[in-house]
Chain A
Amino acid sequence: MVTLDEPLPEAVLALPVERPDGEPCALRDVLQPPAVLVVLRHFGCVGCDQQVVNLRPHLSMLAELGFSVVMVGNGAPEHARWFADRHHLPARGVTLVTDPSHTVHDAMGLVRSVWSSFGPRGLLGWARAIGRGYRQGGFLGDGRQQGGALVLDPRGVVRFLHRSTAIGHDPDAADLGRHALRVAAASARNAGHREIV
């Protein structure tokens, strides 16, 4: 299980995922600390559309600070390709993989239930996202699965962990950014950059 302020377990890093071209790989092949790992619901999810758009303005800052940004969805590789194209993820420096068997989702302890997607909070989150202009692209994966996010420091320790409990209960992009900045600042200090006060 993934725990805050603990290193991401080797067993999690060894979990199998698939690239959008269908090539299998281990999570560690794409997740190089320091890193931001965003675990999406499924590739047609309106909440995930919103989550990616909210994160976009932070991507260049994360890249400048040396973070790799990895997104893991659940669904078929062709759905991952569609999602990556839709958000121009490769051009934005984001690596997208898919986890059709939910192993990464399960290892992160993420919620998977009908209630979380179709209960009152899920429906409200869905309606809010639609109201903000985001698009529902059909069920391109397991619609019951919820997402999450984590920030890894350069040693692979989890410094931020979010588990969504309903559609729209995404990690705030500003929260992710703040934790990434803290990690970058602490790393700079640990690396002896005392000139950065």
Chain B
Amino acid sequence: MSLSDALIHGANVLYLFSYLVRDILWLRFLTVVAIGILMGYFVLESAWVAFGWNAIFLLINLVQIIRLLAERRPVDLAPREERLYQLAFRGLTPREFEKLASLGTWCTEPEDAELVTEGAALDALRVISEGQAAVQVGGETVATLGDGHFVGEMSYLTGDPTSAAVRTTCETLCLSWERDALERWLDDHPSVRSSLQRIVGADLAAKLRRAM
């Protein structure tokens, strides 16, 4: 058997195995190796057009392999993210939450900081990670919000001005998302939008139950 024959048979045996595997990463990996061998065959045969096309296929598969590996790497949430995930975002996958959290801004508010102004248009959605805040109507506290509670979700949902003010009662760690940026991102991630809706819906239902 000539070297050319060995290369073409070797490449096709690898293609055959690539079609048998179900895991897309292994399929691409075997394909890349097969293409590499096939390109050796095209060099021997001076088939430069076929060599060029296969170089493109090789590049596409390598890029996709890098993307797949990046998607499969373990999610490594920071301790504060892990805590908030367990508190309020278990409806998302850890990777979805990692992306969502990276879109937001962590901020530590001092005691008596105004998170929400009564009657104002709200341009952000916040969630309390650690701390406490008082919901005040006309200066009177009507409810308290604690770890894992959303702040301003009704205004976020309706677009209406806020119905109350929210002030921290101790140093409070929050994660907040700017409304427009969050909406744009959710447009590109419909499954996260659905999950986030269910989380906000459950939070809203729980608050309504407490208020009754």
Interface string of B189-205 (1 = CB under 8 A from A): 01001110110111011
A197 contacts B205, C-beta separation under 8 Å: no
> Who on chain A is nearest to B155 by CB?
A197
Q: Decide if A195 touches B207 in the complex (CB within 8 Å).
A: yes
The listed residue with most A CB atoms (<10 A of its CB), out of B158, B162, B194, B211, is B194
- Tell me whether A195 and B135 are in contact (CB under 8 A): yes
CB distance B211 to A61 under 8 Å?
no
Q: Is A4 at the interface (CB under 8 A from chain B)?
A: no
Kindly state the interface size class of chain B when it binds its partner: 20 to 34
Question: Measured between alpha carbons, how far is A58 from B190 in the docked complex, in Å?
Answer: 13
Contact residue among A57, A62, A173, A185 (Cβ-Cβ distance under 8 Å from B158): A185
Residues of B within 8 A of A195 (CB): 135, 137, 142-143, 164, 207, 211
- B142–A194 touching, CB < 8 Å: yes
Are A173 and B208 closer than 8 Å at their CB atoms? Answer: no
B173 — which chain A residues lie within 8 A by C-beta? none
Contact B198 A57 (CB under 8 A): yes
Complex A-B: 16 CB contacts under 8 Å:
A58-B197, A61-B201, A61-B205, A181-B204, A184-B201, A184-B205, A184-B208, A185-B158, A185-B204, A186-B158, A195-B143, A195-B164, A196-B163, A196-B204, A196-B208, A197-B154
Chain A residues proximal to chain B, CB less than 8 Å = 57-58, 60-62, 64-65, 172-174, 177-178, 180-182, 184-186, 188-189, 193-197
The 10 closest A-B pairs by CB, nearest first: A195-B143, A64-B205, A61-B201, A194-B163, A195-B142, A177-B197, A185-B154, A185-B157, A174-B194, A61-B198
